Structure 1
Amino acid sequence: MTVIGSSLLINFFLCMLCSSPECKGEDKVMQPSGDVIAAEGDTATLDCSFETSSKSHTLFWYKQEVNDFPKYILKRGYTGDDNSPEFQKHRFDAELSETSVPLKIQKLHLSDSAVYYCAL
């Protein structure tokens, strides 16, 4: 977790999970490498695009703070939409399209500084 002045730094990286029988190595999740820097109170959007042959896919977002395990934020897709109670939809939201599911974090807090994972 790094803070630069009054800005907060959000890291995000690539993660792909698949436990369904439809997962044959054709599924791919892509996140741009690098940091997103934004000021407290601002909105940040973390990009995540994917490729899958499945028509019944579900995408997930996770947050991992330093020395902690990843925490479930939300899911979007075939099995429905859901947000963890800790990550309310009015601040953490994602809209699933055919090839992407960007995570939008509104009214940023310093505590939002973390590594964010997108998973299929």
Structure 2
Amino acid sequence: MELWLRNLLILAAFRYECRGEDSVTQTLGHVIATEGEQVTLDCQFDTLDTNPYLFWYKQGANDFPKYMLRRATFGSDNAIEFQRRFDAHLNLTTFKSASKSVPLSIQRSQLSDSAVYYCALRPTVTTGYTATLQKLGYPW
């Protein structure tokens, strides 16, 4: 196998958008990088929540999505295996029309980083019993 092909990373991002007030949008397509490069994956979101929680997940081939990290207005968390080279910053603005984002940065990319990456927003619909409900978007 050619040396350049072994060092090629392919990262995919899928677009997901909730219906209603909250939405998450990722850029469609693949990101191609060489090992050792820094890679940034974009995630735009919109919510009325004043303390949003944003999450990143990684899904390798034939695998389930793995929790990577969480970012919120007043705190953050990284899973143990994603503490060294993975980071995200929650970018909030006070202007309603301005974009909010939580881009994921991967330092010193490796071939094992090739995967599908998902950005998610914490569900914000709650009942009187404080049980969180997932907002569902129906096609009809």
**TM-score, normalised with respect to structure 1:** 0.85
* Alignment partners' CA distance in 2, 1:65 and 1:119: 17
Distance of 1:87 and 1:15 partners within structure 2:
23
TM-score, normalised relative to structure 2: 0.73
User: For residues 6 and 12 of structure 1, what CA distance do their matches in structure 2 show?
Assistant: 20
Q: Conserved in 2, the CA contact under 8 Å of 1:14 and 1:30? A: yes
Partners of 2:117 and 2:17 lie apart in 1 by: 12
1:58 maps to what in 2?
A: 53
Give the aligned CA root-mean-square deviation in angstroms. 1.9
Greater percentage in helix:
2
Structure 1, unpaired ranges of 5+: 18-23
Aligned to 2:90: 96
- In structure 2, runs of 5+ residues without a counterpart are 93-99, 122-140
Stretches (4+) displaced over 4 A: none
Higher-Rg structure is: 2
For residues 35-74 of structure 1, the aligned pairs below 5 Å read: 35-74=30-69
Question: Taking CA–CA contacts closer than 8 Å with sequence separation of 6 or more, which of the two structures ends up with the larger relative contact order?
Answer: 1
Q: CA deviation at 1:66?
A: 1.0
Q: Give aligned-pair identity as a percent.
A: 55
Query: Which residue is 2:131 aligned to?
Result: none
CA positional deviation for 1:7: 1.6
